[in-house]
Every structure is written in C-alpha cells, then in structure tokens.
Amino acid sequence: MERSSFWEATSAAPEYPALKEDTAFDAVVVGAGFTGITAALLLAESGAKVAVVEADRIGSGTSGRSTVKVTCQHTLKLHTLGDEKARAYYAANKSGFDFVCGLVERNGIGCDFERLPAYVYARGDECLPDIEKEAEFYSKLGIDGGVTEKTGLPFGVKCALVMRDQAQFHPLKYLYALARRFTACGGSIFERTKAQRFERGADCAVITKNATLRSRDVIFATNYPMTDFPGLFFLKLHQEREYAICAKADGLDIGGMYISAQKPANSMRMYRSGDENRLILVGYGHRTAKEDDDFSGYDRLKELLRRDFKTADPDPDYAWSAQDCRTLDGIPYVGPVYAEPPGVYVAAGYEKWGVTNSAAAAMMISDAIAGTGHIDRHIRKAFDPLRFTPAASAKNFLIHTGNVAGAFTAGNILIPEGSYGDIKPGEGAVMRVGAKAQAVYRDTDGKIHAFEAHCTHMRCPLEYNAAEKSFDCPCHGSRFGTDGEVLNGPANEPLCRITERPER
C-alpha cells in the first residue's frame, strides 16, 4: 500500500518557478490550495496584479488530500447553528457550490466531474432525532432533499438524509485548471517559496528566504493562519487529522456520496475515470497528536473496507491523511483581521468541507478587496474572523483552552526518561535524555536525529506519531517530519536540532 494521495498519483502537476527577486503586487496570496488559487483568480479577473506563494507544490496540502465532495451537505450541521447562522452558512456554501459547478460546466474543465446525491446515513437509532432536526432545516431553507430509507450502500441503514444534485470531481485536475486560468490573466505563482515572516506597516511584506513580496493586501490561505494576532486564532482554532484509503472496486456502484451520522464519522465515494472504478474511504479523525497508538486510522478503514464492501479489492493501494481546522462555533473564520488598510485576510476552519467553503471564502475576500459583489455582506458578517459569540462558543472555548493547558502541563510533566539505545531503526519517541526533552528518530541506516521536543509555534511539548512518523503538537496541531522540518502549521520554523548528545 502506497502512502501517498491517490489524487497526486493520478494527475500531472504543472511546474512553477521559485521566487528569486523582490517584487511588488496589488495582492499576495500565501497558500496555493483551493482557497488561495480561487481568490487569486477572482482578483486577477477584476484587474489586480496578484502573486501566489506556496511552500511546496500547488495543491500539496489539504486540497490534494481530501475526499473532495462538492456539496452543501456538511453532515448534520445546520440545525446546530440556529436559524440565522444556518441560513448564512448554507447561503455562502450554496454560492460556493454554484461557483465551482458553473466554472467546471461552462468551461469544460476535465476533472472527472459528476453530479450525484449526497447522504448522511444512520446504522442505529441514536442519530435519528438529529436527522429529523436536520430535515426540518432542509424544509426551512428550501433544500432539495429529505429523509429516505433507500441508499446505494451494500449494507443496511436505519435511514438517511439525502441532498440531491450535488457533485464530486478530481481535486487536482480542477485546481490545476484554475491555476492555468489565473496565470493566463497575468497572475504569478511561486512554488517552493516558503513565507517565513510577515510584516505590516505602510504596506504588507511577505518575506521569504530569497526575496520579499510587497502589496497593499495579503491573504493567508494556509489552512491555519500564519498570523495569530489580532484574531487570537491560537485560542479559537484546533486541528484534526483524518485518514483515507483507495481501493479498486470493479463493478461496485454506491450511487452517491456518503458520510455516517455516528461518530467517529466515515465518509465514502466512488471515483470513475475511463475503465477505472475505485472506492475511497475516509474517516476515523481525531484531534492532532491524539491518535490511537494501538490501532491506526488506516487499520480501521481497512477493516471497514473488508467488512462492508466485499466486492472491492480488500487490499487498498493508496493511503494518505489530511489535516483541517475547527472553529469554536462551527462557522469558518473568513475576512479581514484589521479594519484599516493595508488589508490582511484569513480563511480557516472548514471542518473538512473545503470545496464549497473555500470557494465561498475566496468570493467573500474578493468582495472585501475588489468590491466584486459575489456574496451579500450580511452573510459575510457571520464569518467574521474577529467574532466571539459566547452563547455558541463559550463551551467549546473552555474545552479547547482546557485541552491546550492540559497538553502543555501534562505533556511536560509526563515526558518519560529514555535513551537513544531504546530507539530501533525506523522508530521515534519523545523522551528526556539527561535534563533535556528531546524528539528522537533513528533512521533505517541507524543514524539518530534528535531535536528539542517543543513546538516552535508556542513551545508546547510534542508527541511522536508512529503511524505517520512525525512529531505532532497537541496544542495547535503543528507537525514536524523526522528531519525536523515543518509539515503543518501554525509553526513556521523547524525544530532545533541537537548536535551534542550522549550515546546513552
């Protein structure tokens, strides 16, 4: 089983240069995923001179590693928001849905686009009341859907909530097409160009290793915002990981896209292209650094595949994972974080529903910068990144800050004593060696790689993730490779390598 994204393996990535010299633009976008490229395209079409900088390759983050359902059905979410916020959330995502589908269909984008219904299904009775409540909001909002007992799944369900006329596609084929449209409008994309620092003065400066980009507006489309202030995002966001597998499934057709109502949620869809027919299973998410050491998400998904989809190949040939943020009240943080120019904009907290949310976020940010008028300002207000709504957020705020405080305190106290001799080739650990907490990995050649065991974001103690061979932060979700380099933010600096160490 290959530990890589099926989407990355089945698409031809375009090449863009690295930034080499200081340049000025009207707007700079940090992050080349769905949000960043869509926002850049909208601004370029409005006449702005726009640059996108990406630390790795275009689409290399969450956008190229998700289930990729183009749908406004985000589990059983609407009834939890209340009438006003549910209307705003659905309206924004319906605008995003219409934008994506319209762009694909009008321009004939070859991304294996397919219209299908979306379902939330329940196998037991415990979720039936929530399904009924959600169905009531479908009626209130005029959504084409409702409760049904009929699905295309190869196992029985108590009932399901269907939203008709939704869609799915190949995410990177779509994203690469948007990137080509953007550059055709005069836009610039710089890959392998990591934004190391950000400064805001008379204008905005995005500082990379080789050069500085200056602009009147900066958009952080980086999953977790690069700037914590003034939005206090370290208090308002937490990150979760989710796992995916892909298996050949000749002859299988489940007739739609699905996610379970029960927790932990499992999501499934088919992918068809030519003679190829595949099943993609996603699920068993958890807060970053809180995985089950004894039974990984990949193992659980393989068990689900073999138990419930007996006509599919029991041995998946691709496996990958993704990470996304959750907000306190269930609505993404989108928009400006300063009232006066120069403008700094963020988009974060999609809760794994990034296709429609990212398009909606890009339109809202384009409206704020260029006055493009895609989404009503009253809807945009519900996504205000500076908001704090005590009635909806207080409980989750206390849970989140409690988790952070607990991880920081207990994590430091409970780091075990150890020695390099305890670490076998291909394994890692966080341990105290002498008086120093260290993140240690021994590579397959037997060489030890040791680093300070605290996240470079806010100094929280790290934990070793054996399933993915990474050092993860339980406080805000930063992840580091066994070479100490940043895999996921908000951390922006690599771990500090320990070069003087006793061989104990």
Alpha helices, DSSP H, located in 170-237: 171-184, 233-236
Contacts of 121 (CB under 8 A, 6+ apart): 151, 153, 157, 159, 160, 161, 258, 259, 260, 261
Mean pLDDT within 60-70:
90
Q: What is the pLDDT of residues 452-492, one digit of tens each?
A: 989 998 888 898 888 788 999 988 888 999 999 998 888 88
Mean pLDDT within 491-502:
81
Residue 435 has pLDDT above 70, yes or no: yes
Question: Where does the pLDDT of residue 417 fall: very low under 50, low under 70, confident under 90, or very high at 90 and above?
Answer: confident
**Which domains, and CATH codes, for the chain?**
390-504 (2.102.10.10)
Q: How far apart are CA 191 and CA 210, in angstroms?
A: 12
| pLDDT value, residue 92 | 97
Q: Who wins on pLDDT, 412 or 488? A: 488
Question: Where does the pLDDT of residue 504 fall: very low under 50, low under 70, confident under 90, or very high at 90 and above?
Answer: very low
Alpha helices, DSSP H, located in 29-170: 34-45, 78-81, 83-107, 128-141
Q: What is the pLDDT of residues 95-149, one digit of tens each?
A: 999 999 999 999 999 999 999 999 999 999 999 999 999 999 999 999 999 999 9
β partners of residue 471: 464, 480
Asked if 239 and 351 count as a contact pair (C-beta separation under 8 A), the reply is no
Q: Who wins on pLDDT, 335 or 288? A: 335
Asked if 462 and 473 count as a contact pair (C-beta separation under 8 A), the reply is yes
β partners of residue 442: 427, 448
| pLDDT value, residue 400 | 47
| pLDDT value, residue 390 | 55
Residue type, 224: Y
Question: Where does the pLDDT of residue 391 fall: very low under 50, low under 70, confident under 90, or very high at 90 and above?
Answer: low
Q: Name residue, tokens 């409702």.
A: 146
Residue 390: is it exposed, middle or buried by C-beta count within 10 angstroms (0-12/13-18/19+)?
exposed
Q: What's the Cα-to-Cα distance from 31 to each of 244, 268, 288, 320, rounded to whole Å? A: 23, 27, 21, 20
Q: What is the pLDDT of residues 436-455, one digit of tens each?
A: 889 999 999 999 999 998 99
Q: How far apart are CA 67 and CA 170, in angstroms?
A: 9
Model confidence, pTM = 0.87
Q: What is the pLDDT of residues 280-305, one digit of tens each?
A: 999 987 787 666 655 688 999 999 99
Residue 177 has pLDDT above 90, yes or no: yes
**Mean pLDDT of all residues belonging to the chain:** 90
